[in-house]
Amino acid sequence: MKMRYKRFLSVLITVFLLSIPALLGAQTKGGSLIYGEYGAPIRLVPVLANDSISIRLIELIYGSLLYYNANGEEVGDLAEAWEVSKDLKTITFSLRKDVFWHPVPGEQGRRPFIADDVVKTFEIMMHPNTLTSLQSRYNFISSVQKIDDHTVVFTLRKPVLNVLGRFSFKIMPAFLLGRITSLRGDEDLLLYKHPVGTGPYIFVSQEGSSAEVVLKANDRYHLSSPYIEQVIMRPFADQNIITQTLLYGGIDLEVRVPPRDISEIQGDAQFELAPYSTLSYSFFGYNLRNPVLAIKEVRKAISYAINRQEMLNSFFEGKGQLISGPFAPGSWAYNLDVRSVPYSPGEANRLLDRAGFTERTKDGIRTRGSYKLQFQMVVPISKENETTKRVILAFQNYLRSVGIQIDIKWLEWKTWTENVFVKNDYDIIYADWLFDDSFDISSLFHSREIGPGRNNFCAYKNPEVDSLLDESRSTLDIEKKRTIYRKLHEILAEDVPYTYLWTLTNYAAYNRKLRRVEIHPTRFFTYVRDWYVLEEDQK
Amino acid sequence: MIRFVKVFFREALNMLLLIIGVTALLYLLFNIMPGFFPGKGEGLFGYTQLLRKLFTFQFGTSIITGRDINGIVFPAFRNTIVLTVGSIFFSIVIAVPIGIFSAYRRFKTYSWPLVIFSYIMSTIPVFYLGYLVLYIVSRYTGVLPIYYPQGSGRGNPLLSFMLPILVLGFGNESISEIVRLISTELERVMHSDYAVASKARGESVLWSSVNEGIMIPLISIVFSKIPFIIGGAVIVEHVFNWPGMGRLAFQATLDRDLPLLIVITFLSVLCVRGGMLLKELALLYINPHEK
Amino acid sequence: MKRFYFEKERPAIESFHVPLSRRASVRDVVSIGFGLLVVSYLVVFYFISVTGTFIRDPMQIDISNMFLPPSIDHLFGTDFLGRDIFSRVVKGTEAFFIPGIISISVSTTFGLLFGIVSGFYPRYSSKIIFYVLNIIDSIPRIIFILIIIVLFNPSIYLIMTFVGISSIPKIASYIKAKVELLKNQRSIEAARALGLSQATIIFKHIVWLSSKPVLIIRATLGMGESILIETSLSYLGIGVQEPTPSWGNMVAMGKDFFFQGKIWLSTIPALVILFTIMGLYLLGDGLNSIYNEKVSR
């Protein structure tokens, strides 16, 4: 008797346990996710894409050899196993055999994913003619070789710390690239109009580039299938309309909520605000070729003259953190001992006096002999952005009160890039950098990165920094690297090639009908497979 | 009948010549500009290539952005036409009654508010009107009347369709012109001897001779407003997220995508000139006696 | 000109013969009065902003006082940087004044020029001139501007020049019609008989006497249109840039705070625009009806 009861009880318990998920609203398949973006994707092609809208879509459509899960562990996507050689200079990837490319329009069936795809993607990426800045990120790899259809070997020039993390670049289908060796964006490729990848979502259509991108779940996905059946990206031409559309049910997710809309969404119980920090920061950059800006006291004075906290509070609702150096806070590279420059117009004035700028013009601008504290600031007009305007105008205002005049010049994006990176025709810029987790700042501050098209646009030259940067790139000891970075933080804070402003906390907002939403700081949709919509909310 | 054909051909030829002129101008500018447009055609050969591409409606791929122009432009074109034509209807529907009403009343004071109202609507900046409409409608009906894609099951299709048309109908400045036109014309005609005589006889003055008086200038105005309406559509499309040519044109401007802009211009000019053609035909139809 | 077969032929009344008081109706007086009111405040504002005699500095940023609603202190409230909106509205007249004048002058001068030339030589030059003008006329104005932007990266002054260019065709065709009409009128013949030179005839009779009303209307309309165009461009982000205030960019920047209830940032400049343009239009309308010209397009 007792035995039977026991068994019965255990069955009951099991049934009960199994049905808890259903009772709690289990992950059910189906439903659709419509999300809004401000602007339209520029290029839905890996390697070439460098705008965040395209990158987010590519995250849905394309796959990579491996990626990082929410716990920070390396997980295989297209690779099922990998092996790093003892000398750390060879990495062998065993590719999964159950991966298929998305269906190609006009073709029946689906092609298998093979090693050629990896090789071809890598070769195109590294080709000097390809319009991307990725080459410098991957030039530690000397060659890639296909061993067989499902094995690829990468040979490195020298060992690199956390090397596996670098293999998260997206893979393109070799069979759609034909004999192409480099990509510049103007080729007549099917891939440009109809992306074909190995990711969790398949590209269905994009009716004209100002209409939606429609994706559907990949039914033959090699990892766990996504629950949400359909994903649609709606481009918007007006940023204010996005939040309103979210609030009125027209979209389910807003990728990046402008600070001014945050309180409106917070007040509405139907929506959830999810903060995510990207590894980025904003700054004012100086052109050290200008003899006046080359004077350190001038740059320091500018840093003292502006009230960063006030700007952060007033323009961004305080959603962010001030920074003291060229790293994002919360990253392993940040040196918490270095103090931020406080707001002190008095100190700014003192520094400027000390630098010899004691006379003033009629308008109150400081001069020293023939040098005038008057600088030109160039700003890109890329999509209407009220916070940028406010920051810049406030900046101009703060500086005027210490006797520095800023003339603002608004330029179209391409012209701006040309002026800053190629012609170096500017004095100050306001911009932000977006990093990956290696935080390699050598392209920004190393003296050999000065030149047209390179990232050290401020022409900063410091031999100590150069050697520290070189050391940091070659060391394999993470503790050592951290120490070096801390030192760099100290020096670069003292030398002020940039005035470091803040790292903003981004907020995504979504309708609560979306469950289990987790957002990747840079790629956004990495964990989208786990998101789902309750049955009753699926319309 | 023969006159129809004659006029049609005359106008069509006109249109063709003008379009060629426009494309020549654009092509000239395209090539003159220094440096950064890759893929310029060479001289005359390039131009004939361009013409062939445009006239066969095979626009190819944009050199600058790699996008497929055909795939993008036609849906957008269709959407903008819907918006444009709809707004013209709307303008007429609103403006004509107001004009008639204001002319009919001998005492202008009655009609002034309406006329003022129509003036106000025509001079508000278009996007502000759009925002206002969005704000009011969304707060009062719980629906945001912007464009929703077919079949997504969201939003209210009727509202989303009507409101942008309404806003564009107001924002294209036709209403005040039409009102002004109709009220002055109608007044004049009503005071003419013929009308007075008619009235004495007890006939309704409104339809017979007035018809001619209104229709001709009305048609002229409406069709001549087409360029403006396409312009206004750019703004309305932004606010209501309407996937039309206006938004596309601005996107092209931001990307410095001159090939796409040329195609859009070509299509707009086609519309404008086509409109003129239709206008001539319509006028001919209405008033076959008049030269 | 007879429009309908039942009309009597009416002579075109030379405007200076009939005294104004006899022909102006109440409506006209109100229109013109209102219009002049608008013009006068425009002039006052422009004067204030050019001489810089503001009570509150329109450029003065005061972050601690952002988004204050209208009050005695700040008649129109403060904007997203704490600047006084009223002063910015006043200073905003500067932004469209000169570009507007540029636009009007370009369209009127060239319109007159082309109109007169093609009126006097209808067969050859007019065909060519009008071919070119019709090309310009066929392109919707904003698209025209967008192309110019892509090609030239222009300043607002250049943009307004092109706006003026886009208005030339209409004026030219009107002038041409006028010229053709008047060319053969008796008064012209008489003048010619008296030995007046061709130039005098052109300027005095055609331009000044007959076309003046329409030109004035064109001027008022043109100013109004310039304001609206600049507003649309500012909405798109390519009009007059900060920190220079223009009514257009004030409405445009204000829109970002509209849905949060801070509607005065956008609404007040929009109302100012509305008021001003209405005033200009009414002025043009009133003048038009006084001079008793039929507005034919």
Q: Phi and psi dihedrals of C241, rounded to 5?
A: -95, 155
CA atoms of C237 and C118, how far apart (whole Å): 39
Q: Phi and psi dihedrals of C294, rounded to 5?
A: -80, 125
CB contact C256 to A (< 8 Å): yes
Residues on chain A touching B61 (C-beta within 8 angstroms): 186, 188
Best residue of A238, A415, A417, A533 to probe chain B, by most B CBs closer than 10 Å: A238
- CB–CB contact B265 C285 (8 Å): no
Type and span of the H or E element at B97:
helix B69-104
Q: What percent of chain C has pLDDT over 70?
A: 79
CA atoms of B49 and B259, how far apart (whole Å): 13
Single-letter code of the amino acid located at A506: N
Q: B193: number of CA atoms within 13 Å, CB side?
A: 6
Question: Other C-beta atoms within 10 Å of C113: how many?
Answer: 15
Best residue of A246, A390, A410 to probe chain C, by most C CBs closer than 10 Å: A390
Q: Which two tokens stand for residue C295?
A: 């507005």
Rounded to an integer, what is the distance from CA B267 to the centroid of its chain?
Answer: 13
Is the predicted pLDDT of residue B181 greater than 90, yes or no? no
Chains touching C (3+ CB pairs < 8 Å): A, B
Q: What's the whole-number mean pLDDT along residues B240-254?
A: 84
CB contact A314 to C (< 8 Å): yes
CA atoms of C222 and C104, how far apart (whole Å): 6
Location of structure tokens 């008081």: C21
As a whole number, the mean pLDDT across chain C is 78
pLDDT band at A407 (very low <50, low <70, confident <90, very high): very high
For residues A438 and A324, which has the higher predicted lDDT (pLDDT)? A324
Type and span of the H or E element at A213:
strand A213-217
pLDDT band at A306 (very low <50, low <70, confident <90, very high): very high
For residues C196 and A291, which has the higher predicted lDDT (pLDDT)? A291
Type and span of the H or E element at B197:
helix B193-201
Among the residue ranges A16-25, A313-322, A472-481, C276-285, the one predicted with the least confidence is: A16-25
Q: What's the whole-number mean pLDDT along residues A171-183?
A: 88
Q: Which two tokens stand for residue A281?
A: 């920061």
- CB–CB contact A384 C238 (8 Å): no
Single-letter code of the amino acid located at B187: E
Spell out where B133-181 has E strands: none
- CB–CB contact A208 B148 (8 Å): no
- CB–CB contact B252 C139 (8 Å): no
CA atoms of A422 and A420, how far apart (whole Å): 6
Best residue of A242, A245, A260, A377 to probe chain C, by most C CBs closer than 10 Å: A260
Is the predicted pLDDT of residue B151 greater than 60, yes or no? no
CA atoms of C293 and C177, how far apart (whole Å): 14
- CB–CB contact B128 C232 (8 Å): no
CA atoms of A308 and A402, how far apart (whole Å): 16
For residue B209, the model assigns a pLDDT of 56
Which B residues, 207 through 246, put their C-beta within 8 Å of a C-beta on chain C?
Answer: 209, 212-213, 217, 220-221, 224, 226-228, 230-232, 234-235, 238, 246
CA atoms of C22 and A72, how far apart (whole Å): 89
Q: Helix, strand, coil proportions of chain A in percent (round to 5)?
A: 30, 25, 45
SS (H, E, C) C125-143: HHHHHHHHHHHHHHCCHHH
Q: What's the whole-number mean pLDDT along residues A169-177?
A: 91
pLDDT band at C163 (very low <50, low <70, confident <90, very high): confident
Helix axes B108-123, C26-51, angle to 10 degrees: 30
- CB–CB contact C6 B192 (8 Å): yes
Question: Chain B: nearest CA to A186, how far in angstroms?
Answer: 5
Would the CA dihedral through A193, A196, A200, A204 be positive or negative?
A: positive
Residues B177, B179, B181, B186: what is their CA dihedral angle, to the nearest 10 degrees?
180
In this complex, the residue of A239, A244, A397 whose CB is nearest that of residue C61 is: A397
Q: Which two tokens stand for residue A369?
A: 């002999």
For residue B46, the model assigns a pLDDT of 62
Which B residues, 150 through 179, put their C-beta within 8 Å of a C-beta on chain C?
Answer: 176
pLDDT band at C9 (very low <50, low <70, confident <90, very high): very low
In this complex, the residue of C140, C150, C273 whose CB is nearest that of residue B268 is: C140
- CB–CB contact A186 B66 (8 Å): yes
Q: Return the SS3 of A123.
A: helix
Closest Cα to residue B244, out of B131, B143, B164, B187?
Answer: B164
- All residues at 6 or more sequence positions from C100 whose CB lies less than 8 Å from its CB, including other chains: C160, C222, C223, C226, C227
Q: C105: number of CA atoms within 13 Å, CB side?
A: 8
Q: Phi and psi dihedrals of A429, rounded to 5?
A: -130, 160
Is the predicted pLDDT of residue A249 greater than 60, yes or no? yes
Closest Cα to residue B138, out of B240, B235, B237, B247?
Answer: B240
In this complex, the residue of A42, A238, A245 whose CB is nearest that of residue B238 is: A238
Question: Chain B: nearest CA to C145, how far in angstroms?
Answer: 10
Best residue of A37, A187, A209, A214 to probe chain B, by most B CBs closer than 10 Å: A209
For residue A23, the model assigns a pLDDT of 52
For residue C11, the model assigns a pLDDT of 45
Q: Which residue of B has its CA nearest to A211?
A: B243
Q: What confidence tens digit (pLDDT) does each residue in A475-488 have?
A: 878 888 889 988 99
Residues on chain C touching B128 (C-beta within 8 angstroms): 251, 255, 266-267, 270
Question: Chain B: nearest CA to A211, how far in angstroms?
Answer: 6
Is the predicted pLDDT of residue C161 greater than 50, yes or no? yes
DSSP string covering C50-96, please?
HHT--SS-TT---GGGTTPPS-SSSTT-B-TTS-BHHHHHHHHHHHH
CA atoms of A519 and A507, how far apart (whole Å): 10
- CB–CB contact C237 A384 (8 Å): yes
CA atoms of C90 and C97, how far apart (whole Å): 12
Is the predicted pLDDT of residue A428 greater than 90, yes or no? yes
- CB–CB contact B265 C251 (8 Å): no
Q: Which residue of C has its CA nearest to A412?
A: C153
Which B residues, 246 through 285, put their C-beta within 8 Å of a C-beta on chain C?
Answer: 246, 249-250, 252-253, 256-258, 261, 264-265, 268-269, 272-273
Q: What percent of chain A has pLDDT over 90?
A: 27
Residues on chain A touching C259 (C-beta within 8 angstroms): 240, 243-244, 261, 264
As a whole number, the mean pLDDT across chain B is 74
Q: What's the whole-number mean pLDDT along residues A251-270?
A: 89
Q: Which residue pairs from A50-56 have beta carbons closer than 8 angstroms and sit at least 24 positions apart in sequence? A: A50/A132, A50/A133, A53/A233, A53/A235, A55/A522, A55/A523, A55/A524, A56/A233, A56/A255, A56/A523, A56/A524, A56/A525
Residues on chain C touching A393 (C-beta within 8 angstroms): 61, 81, 242-243
Q: What confidence tens digit (pLDDT) does each residue in A323-361 have?
A: 998 888 877 788 888 888 899 999 999 999 998 888 888
Among the residue ranges A205-209, B130-134, B195-199, C45-49, the one predicted with the least confidence is: B195-199
Q: What's the whole-number mean pLDDT along residues C213-239?
A: 82
pLDDT band at B121 (very low <50, low <70, confident <90, very high): confident
CB contact B5 to A (< 8 Å): no
In this complex, the residue of B125, B220, B269 whose CB is nearest that of residue C138 is: B269
CB contact C69 to A (< 8 Å): no
Q: What confidence tens digit (pLDDT) does each residue in B87-111 have?
A: 888 888 888 777 777 766 654 555 6
Is the predicted pLDDT of residue B36 greater than 50, yes or no? no
For residue C73, the model assigns a pLDDT of 83
Closest Cα to residue C258, out of A121, B130, A155?
Answer: B130
SS (H, E, C) C165-199: HHHHHHHHHHHHHHHHHHHCCHHHHHHHHCCCCHH
Q: Which two tokens stand for residue A124?
A: 């195109």
Q: B101: number of CA atoms within 13 Å, CB side?
A: 14
Do A126 and A139 form a contact (C-beta atoms < 8 A)? yes
- All residues at 6 or more sequence positions from A236 whose CB lies less than 8 Å from its CB, including other chains: A36, A37, A38, A39, A242, A245, B241
Residues A292, A297, A298, A304: what is their CA dihedral angle, to the nearest 10 degrees?
170
- CB–CB contact C228 B220 (8 Å): no
Which A residues, 199 through 258, put their C-beta within 8 Å of a C-beta on chain C?
Answer: 239-240, 243-244, 258
Single-letter code of the amino acid located at A82: W
Is the predicted pLDDT of residue B291 greater than 60, yes or no? no
Is the predicted pLDDT of residue A537 greater than 90, yes or no? no
- All residues at 6 or more sequence positions from C150 whose CB lies less than 8 Å from its CB, including other chains: B252, B253, B256, B257, B258, B261
- CB–CB contact C251 B125 (8 Å): yes
Do C276 and C22 form a contact (C-beta atoms < 8 A)? no
CB contact C153 to A (< 8 Å): yes
CB contact B65 to A (< 8 Å): yes
Q: What's the whole-number mean pLDDT along residues A14-28?
A: 60
Would the CA dihedral through A334, A339, A342, A346 be positive or negative?
A: negative
pLDDT band at C249 (very low <50, low <70, confident <90, very high): confident
- Largest Cα–Cα separation, chain B: 75
ipTM: 0.79
Location of structure tokens 């001014």: A260
Q: What confidence tens digit (pLDDT) does each residue in A191-202 have?
A: 888 899 999 999
Residues on chain B touching A32 (C-beta within 8 angstroms): 152
Q: Which residue of C has its CA nearest to B189?
A: C7
Would the CA dihedral through C65, C68, C71, C75 be positive or negative?
A: positive
Location of structure tokens 């319509």: B282
Single-letter code of the amino acid located at C61: I
